[in-house]
Amino acid sequence: MKQLLLSGTLFVLFLIEGTVFQVFAPEQYDLEFQLIPRFVAVVVLLVGMYLSPMFGVIFGVIFGLLHDLIYTDLVGVYMFGIAVSAYIIGYLAKVFQLNWFTSLVLVLLGFTMLEFYVYELFSLINITNLSFNSFIHDRYLPSLILNGIFMLIVYFPVKRLLEELSESRRQEN
């Protein structure tokens, strides 16, 4: 039941990224920067940290694949990217005492890994010709702030859900 709730939340966030958020995207008000919502990736990273890295990988593969199929032409890019960053962050999380601040830092680190990986890959295969400087200024930094704020908003409810989930999993074993 709780697992269904988690998957449902992720799916709704996935839909919001491409629809509701695009209605209010900053470019149509003649702003220079881009805000890239990575809401699904943020929650998947939290799953990797609070549940287990393996769960992060599973959700990363499912929702990354969905992102690839619906919003891009290339299959595999986000599937691999979200899964691997959730795995790495999930392991790093075991070193830290997790509270809202360390979680924020780790989520932003995971987001950074994902953005840089996608940027490097897409410049390698000529999908983008954006220079590194404008990537940092117009895209990476504004999106970092957006996703940081999003993480702080969803942190407590998502954390409670994940802790209940891991509790019920422990009881089953």
Instruction: Give me the residues that bind other proteins (CB under 8 A), please.
Output: 15-25, 27-28, 34, 36-37, 66, 69-77, 79-80, 83-84, 91, 94-95, 118, 122, 125-131, 134, 139
164, two tokens:
């209940």
Residue with tokens 């998947």: 44
Asked whether the beta carbons of 104 and 152 are under 8 A apart, the reply is yes
The residue among 129 and 173 lying less far from other proteins, judged by its C-beta, is 129
The residue among 121 and 156 lying less far from other proteins, judged by its C-beta, is 121
The residue among 120 and 156 lying less far from other proteins, judged by its C-beta, is 120
33, two tokens:
């920067």
Give CA–CA dist 28/109, Å, rounded. Answer: 29
Residue whose C-alpha is closest to residue 159's, from 107, 113, 110: 107
13, two tokens:
């966030």
The residue among 58 and 127 lying less far from other proteins, judged by its C-beta, is 127
Residue 158 Cβ vs other proteins, minimum distance, rounded to whole Å: 20
Residue 101 Cβ vs other proteins, minimum distance, rounded to whole Å: 20
